[in-house]
Amino acid sequence: MSTLRRAPTAKSRARKRSRIRSRTKKKDPLFVDGRRPRPMFVDYRDLDTLKKLINRHGKIVGRRKTGCTAVSQHAVSKAIKRARFMALLPYVGE
């Protein structure tokens, strides 16, 4: 007995398409009033903002999770590293 596969019908294609969801674009947490500050600078002393951008283990959270653009993510990582060096943030979590 040979196993032949039937071509997908219009109903099955529509069902598959409905499962696919488009991602909503996250807003960059560093933008002020929807505009990017120029030059891009994140203050290393602004610990409330920086704590939101690191996880409980002390690692810098990636762009996909934070919603930052590449430029703002570079500024964030630089500010976090400066704050760690100045002993304002821990290198490791609790």
* pLDDT, tens digit (0-9, with 9 covering 90-100), for 7-54: 666 665 556 655 666 767 777 888 877 777 788 888 999 999 999 999
Question: Would you call 16 helix, strand, or coil by DSSP?
Answer: helix
What is the C-alpha separation between 82 and 92, in angstroms, rounded?
15
- Which of the four pLDDT bands, split at 50, 70 and 90, describes residue 91? very high
Q: Which of 34-38, 53-57, 70-74 has the lowest mean pLDDT?
A: 34-38
The answer to whether 88 and 44 have CB atoms below 8 angstroms apart is yes
Q: Higher pLDDT residue, 5 or 45? A: 45
